[in-house]
């Protein structure tokens, strides 16, 4: 298997600090890599389908490659041929007992979905990850798995390392997801695939719906009812025959967020980000930036692989502070760090609410963002679930930002440095490879000034 997903885990490398400096206008066109959420699921669903799934546009970031290695350890065959990835799956219920622990590196999506995917099997699977992932809460997925009858053989206060053994007879459950989390919803739905009968997930607040859409596309029997108050009831029938598919992965809106915000804040910028997923569960940032006065034009809307995609044309803009509605949080949950950067360059106060989930991402993002803003002379207030940024149209910069193994913190503050008065440094940029390996060269080609700094 010459081009299997073999890249080394990011935590195996030493930190590489980087500095971003005030740049001239960013100009040109850029294509961001494939969507991370869809890429993880393409490997997982391909591994469960009968036949050969072919994936185009996969994100070849460390997080997704870790999922690919885990699917290989469970018996799937994965090969890269030319630009496409070929996955030969084992059928639902067909995974083999892995010979060693499954290492998900930095990836919460990878590990939480995989616990649903193979945690119900009647063998022991051990899940491990890097320091960031090992600090993240897993009780949110262990709770429903325990209700199904899964034995948690090993855990560290409900954190990794975790070992699971499925029951002889797993039970279908009805599970109301207690927090807005697509990962928890997906974990339960994936577990339901190997449980006879109907597994039901109740989702009071809609989150990204890639699992539902892709399961339907692979041939699962999945029914969704939406009640008057927006609550979604998702029912999946166990033991379907999933059939291999051709999957085209659209560009990741969460990665597109970085060149888009850079284009808005760097004077003289005029750029186009191509091929961006427009699924409404993912576009909250574009709505918010437009409300702030950002000149953002969605052009060339088209369909690709069952999803709407478009190109995003961005020009440097004078931004004003806004209050972001609390209910918008799930559709832009990964974008708050870079929104905070945009808010720092706006005039006036930006209020961000309902941010509790940010505390349990790759880092405590609420705290990491607030410290990074303060280090660069931006006035802000961090509350338990809110962040208030008081923008003054310009940012002094000059700060050193601690990234806490968090790719989105690193990229957000590198974007800040492209427009601040003095350069901004981050203590490490290696983990950017988990989601957006082309970030530095890609923005560099548009005119961004990044320099390697000394450790």
Active-site residue (options: 130, 334, 406, 428): 334
What SS3 class is residue 129?
coil
Contact segment (CB under 6 A) with ligand S3P among 22-30, 62-70, 85-93, 178-186 equals: 178-186
Determine the size of the site formed for ligand S3P (CB under 6 A).
Answer: 10
What is the pairing mode between strands 449-452 and 102-103? unpaired
Answer for which of 334, 382, 406, 428 binds ligand S3P (CB under 6 A) is 334
Q: How far is the CB of 63 from ligand S3P (least distance, A)?
A: 9
Report CA 429 to chain centroid distance, whole Å: 17
Give residue 105's region: left, alpha or beta (phi > 0; psi -120 to 50). left
245 belongs to an annotated ligand binding site = no
Who's near 52: CB < 8 A, 6+ residues apart?
86, 87, 88, 244
Among candidate residues 128, 138, 109, 117, the one with its CA nearest the CA of residue 74: 117
The DSSP 8-state label assigned to residue 360 in this structure reads G
Q: How far is the CB of 210 from ligand S3P (least distance, A)?
A: 7
Comparing CB distances to ligand S3P, the nearer of 339 and 418 is 339
**Rounded distance, CA 261 to CA 414, Å?**
11
Contact segment (CB under 6 A) with ligand S3P among 86-94, 120-128, 179-187, 390-398 equals: 179-187
What do you get for the CA distance between the two ends of the chain, in Å?
37
Comparing CB distances to ligand S3P, the nearer of 208 and 232 is 208
Where would I find the H helices in 17-91?
Answer: 36-48, 62-73
Pattern 340-359, binding to ligand S3P, x per CB under 6 A? Answer: -----------------x--
Query: Considering the rule CB under 6 A, would residue 364 count as an interface residue with ligand S3P?
Result: no
**Rounded distance, CA 47 to CA 70, Å?**
10
Query: Considering the rule CB under 6 A, would residue 125 count as an interface residue with ligand S3P?
Result: no
Query: Considering the rule CB under 6 A, would residue 186 count as an interface residue with ligand S3P?
Result: yes
- Residue 251's beta-bridge partner residues? 34, 276
Pattern 249-268, binding to ligand S3P, x per CB under 6 A? Answer: --------------------
Q: Which of residues 381-400 bind ligand S3P (CB under 6 A)?
A: none
Query: Considering the rule CB under 6 A, would residue 183 count as an interface residue with ligand S3P?
Result: yes
Q: Which of residues 59-78 bind ligand S3P (CB under 6 A)?
A: none
Answer for which of 37, 53, 288, 331 binds ligand S3P (CB under 6 A) is 37
Report CA 11 to chain centroid distance, whole Å: 18
Q: How far is CA 107 from CA 19, 36, 181, 194, 253, in A?
A: 25, 10, 15, 23, 18
Burial class (CB in 10 A: 0-12, 13-18, 19+), 25: middle
- Count other Cβ atoms within 10 Å, centred on residue 267: 12
Query: Considering the rule CB under 6 A, would residue 195 count as an interface residue with ligand S3P?
Result: no
Three-state secondary structure of 287-308:
HHHHHCCCEEEEEEEEEECCEE
Comparing CB distances to ligand S3P, the nearer of 141 and 418 is 141
* Cβ pair 38, 105 in contact under 8 A: no
Query: Considering the rule CB under 6 A, would residue 182 count as an interface residue with ligand S3P?
Result: yes
Query: Considering the rule CB under 6 A, would residue 181 count as an interface residue with ligand S3P?
Result: yes
| 334 included as an active-site residue | yes
Q: How far is the CB of 208 from ligand S3P (least distance, A)?
A: 6
The DSSP 8-state label assigned to residue 250 in this structure reads P
181 belongs to an annotated ligand binding site = yes
108 belongs to an annotated ligand binding site = yes
Among candidate residues 306, 384, 290, 391, the one with its CA nearest the CA of residue 341: 391
136 belongs to an annotated ligand binding site = yes
Comparing CB distances to ligand S3P, the nearer of 376 and 435 is 435
Instruction: Please give the angle made by the CA atoms of 361, 18 and 375, to the nearest 5 degrees.
Output: 65
Q: Which of residues 199-218 bind ligand S3P (CB under 6 A)?
A: 208
Among candidate residues 304, 295, 392, the one with its CA nearest the CA of residue 348: 392
Comparing CB distances to ligand S3P, the nearer of 182 and 432 is 182
Contact segment (CB under 6 A) with ligand S3P among 96-104, 181-189, 371-379, 391-399 equals: 181-189
> Where in the sequence numbering do the catalytic residues fall?
334
**Sites of contact with ligand S3P (CB under 6 A):** 37, 109, 181-183, 186, 208, 333-334, 357
Output the known binding site for 3-phosphoshikimate: 36-37, 41, 181, 183, 334, 361
Output the known binding site for phosphoenolpyruvate: 36, 108, 136, 183, 365, 408
């Amino acid at each position: 298997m010459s081009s299997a997903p073999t890249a080394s885990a990011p935590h195996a490398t030493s930190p590489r600090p980087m500095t971003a400096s005030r740049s001239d206008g960013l100009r040109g066109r850029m294509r961001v890599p494939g969507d991370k959420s869809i890429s993880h699921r393409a490997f997982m669903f391909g591994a469960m389908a009968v036949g050969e799934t072919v994936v185009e546009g996969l994100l070849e970031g460390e997080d997704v490659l870790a999922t690919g290695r885990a699917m290989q350890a469970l018996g799937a065959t994965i090969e890269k041929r030319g630009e496409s990835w070929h996955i030969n799956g084992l059928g639902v219920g067909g995974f083999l007992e892995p010979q060693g622990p499954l290492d998900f590196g930095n990836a919460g999506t990878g590990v939480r979905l995989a616990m649903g995917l193979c945690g119900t099997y009647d063998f022991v699977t051990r899940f491990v990850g890097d320091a960031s992932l090992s600090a993240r809460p897993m009780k949110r997925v262990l709770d429903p798995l325990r209700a199904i009858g899964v034995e948690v053989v090993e855990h560290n206060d409900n954190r990794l390392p975790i070992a699971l053994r499925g029951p002889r007879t797993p039970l279908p459950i009805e599970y109301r997801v207690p927090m807005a989390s697509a990962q928890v919803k997906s974990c339960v739905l994936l577990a339901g695939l190997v449980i006879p009968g109907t597994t039901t997930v109740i989702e009071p607040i809609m989150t990204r719906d890639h699992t539902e859409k892709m399961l339907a596309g692979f041939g699962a029997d999945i029914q969704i009812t939406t009640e008057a108050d927006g609550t979604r009831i998702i029912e999946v029938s166990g033991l379907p025959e999933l059939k291999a598919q051709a999957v085209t992965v659209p560009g990741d809106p969460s990665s597109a967020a970085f060149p888009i915000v850079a284009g808005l804040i760097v004077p003289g910028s005029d750029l186009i980000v191509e091929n961006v997923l427009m699924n409404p569960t993912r576009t909250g940032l574009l709505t918010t930036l437009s409300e702030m006065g950002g000149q953002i034009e969605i052009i060339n809307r088209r369909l690709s692989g069952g999803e709407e995609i478009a190109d995003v044309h961005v020009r440097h803009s004078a931004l004003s502070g806004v209050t972001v509605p609390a209910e918008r949080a799930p559709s832009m949950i990964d974008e708050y760090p870079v929104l905070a950067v945009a808010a720092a360059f706006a005039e006036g106060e930006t209020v961000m609410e309902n941010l509790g989930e940010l505390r349990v991402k790759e880092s405590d993002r609420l705290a990491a963002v607030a410290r990074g803003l303060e280090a660069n002379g931006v006035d802000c207030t961090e509350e338990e679930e809110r962040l208030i940024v008081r923008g003054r149209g310009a940012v002094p910069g000059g700060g050193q930002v601690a990234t806490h193994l968090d790719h989105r913190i690193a990229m957000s503050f590198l974007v800040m440095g492209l427009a601040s008065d003095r350069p901004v440094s981050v203590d490490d940029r290696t983990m950017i490879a988990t989601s957006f390996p082309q970030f530095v060269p890609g923005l560099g080609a548009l005119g961004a000034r990044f320099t390697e700094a000394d450790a």
